A and B are shown apart, each in its own frame.
Chain A
Amino acid sequence: MRVLVILLALAVGALTGLGLTWLASARSNGFGAVQIGAWSVWPRSGTADADPYARASFARSGELPLERADGLLFEATKTDNGYTLDGRCDILIKGRLANARFWTLTVYDERGRLIDNPAERYTFNSTEIVWKQDGTFEVTAAPRARSGNWLPTGGRDRIVLVLRLYDAPVGLATRTGEQVDMPSVSQLVCP
């Protein structure tokens, strides 16, 4: 009986412990996320001070994170209003952007892979985009082609938007909220 009790305790321990680790390392950029609208940024994950969860997650996926001095990676999986991004809908990314040398906007599937599309377009950058007269921009992520800045989503149900700011000012990610200009993310037409 006593042996059974110990075995049960060990089994519960192994299961919860390994389960938690598996979940925590699956899709995580670590602690210390700063939320600006729909966008999350992990300022410390691109430094030697990255926390153990960020390290574990990057080691497992094999990703080499963007170093802080190089740039900052912002990720959005939801709209400003908290709806999960759906690649079958028209997703509008518009506004202006914090001061950086340039930026790129990329669509990934939920496993971090590019999405196959006939236009072979996976990304837009600030130098090739069509800007509006007032200095703002508008990108539409949508399954079907459209005029303007179109980012194909291949009609996947789950997508991740990744915005990378290169050579961004140091204070950017440590401030929260209003002072930082980040584009809004909204979902328009859904099937």
Chain B
Amino acid sequence: MKIDPLPIAAGLVIGGLVHLTTVLALPRLALEDAYTRVERLGSANQVHLIPAPTPFEATLPRLDPAFAHAVCRYDLRESPIRVTIPLAPDYMSVSFYTRHGLPYYALNDRAAAQRVIDLQLMTAQQRAVLPSDEEITAADRLIVESPSDEGIVLVRAFVREEGLLDATLARLREARCAPLG
């Protein structure tokens, strides 16, 4: 039997299109994405500690086991969010991700003026309607613009040795992520 090459060729073209579409759509369709995993830790606009990863269980895959982590799933639809994180004994960073897990900003403890990282998270629209007198004081205020209404703030704190774990966790417990106002 002779196989007609036309449907195969047409099929491969369709396949290419299907492939491109699904790759682009995957961040929206993924069932076990970071946001869904973080959702299980508790409500939005609150800081939750992430349990240390073990060989059998990990809230998020491939977090650095040398770090302690805290996370805040934010929702800016009501109001901007203020994030305050007291510095831990060692290296510390704060990373910002969109609803679909795309990193858009990060800073580390070098950027903290005092012994605390203090910033405001808002959308471009919320920033645009900031009163103008507020804009003046904004110079000494750190504002992070979120490209999406929802997203994730991940705090990474380095624990260079086991003995510093409790002190680091204590600082992470003092971290806040709450609506402004």
Q: How far is the CB of A190 from chain B (nearest CB, A)?
A: 24
B82 within 8 A of A: no
Residues of chain B contacted by A46 (CB below 8 angstroms): 103
Q: Are B14 and A65 in contact (CB under 8 A)?
A: no
* Assembled-state Cα–Cα distance A56/B26 (Å): 5
A181 within 8 A of B: no
Q: Are A167 and B62 in contact (CB under 8 A)?
A: no
B181 within 8 A of A: no
**Which one of A47, A66, A164 has the highest number of Cβ atoms from chain B below 10 Å of its Cβ?**
A66
B46 within 8 A of A: no
Q: How far is the CB of A156 from chain B (nearest CB, A)?
A: 11
Q: Which of B150-181 contact A (CB under 8 A)?
A: 152, 154, 156, 158, 160-161
* Assembled-state Cα–Cα distance A125/B161 (Å): 9
Closest to A23 in B: B19
Q: Are B11 and A166 in contact (CB under 8 A)?
A: no
Q: Are A14 and B101 in contact (CB under 8 A)?
A: no
Closest to B67 in A: A104
B64 within 8 A of A: yes
A13 within 8 A of B: yes
Residues of chain A contacted by B60 (CB below 8 angstroms): 62-64
Q: Are A53 and B23 in contact (CB under 8 A)?
A: yes
Determine which of B12, B26, B104 lies in contact with A16 in the assembled complex, contact meaning CB atoms within 8 Å.
B12
A24 within 8 A of B: yes
A59 within 8 A of B: yes
- Cβ proximity bits B1-39 to A, threshold 8 Å, 1 near / 0 not: 000101110111111111101111011001011101100
Residues of chain B contacted by A157 (CB below 8 angstroms): none
Residues of chain A contacted by B137 (CB below 8 angstroms): none
**Interface extent on A, as a size class?**
35 or more
Residues of chain A contacted by B160 (CB below 8 angstroms): 102, 125, 127-128
Q: Which of A47-74 contact B (CB under 8 A)?
A: 47-48, 50, 52-53, 55-56, 58-71
* Assembled-state Cα–Cα distance A55/B30 (Å): 11
* Assembled-state Cα–Cα distance A10/B30 (Å): 24
Given contacts A9-B11, A17-B16, A20-B19, is CB(A48)–CB(B110) below 8 Å?
no
* Assembled-state Cα–Cα distance A18/B17 (Å): 10
Q: Which of B73-129 contact A (CB under 8 A)?
A: 91, 93, 95-97, 100-108, 110
Q: How far is the CB of B103 from chain A (nearest CB, A)?
A: 4
Residues of chain A contacted by B11 (CB below 8 angstroms): 8-13, 16
Please report A residues at the B interface, Cβ cutoff 8 Å. Answer: 5-6, 8-18, 20-21, 24-25, 46-48, 50, 52-53, 55-56, 58-71, 101-102, 104, 106, 108, 112-116, 122-123, 125, 127-128, 162, 164, 166-167
Please report B residues at the A interface, Cβ cutoff 8 Å. Answer: 4, 6-8, 10-19, 21-24, 26-27, 30, 32-34, 36-37, 53-56, 58, 60-66, 91, 93, 95-97, 100-108, 110, 147, 152, 154, 156, 158, 160-161
5 A-B pairs with the lowest CB-CB distances in the bound complex, closest first: A17-B18, A12-B11, A13-B14, A16-B15, A67-B106
Sampled A-B contacts (7; CB under 8 Å) = A12-B14, A16-B12, A60-B30, A64-B95, A64-B154, A69-B106, A125-B66
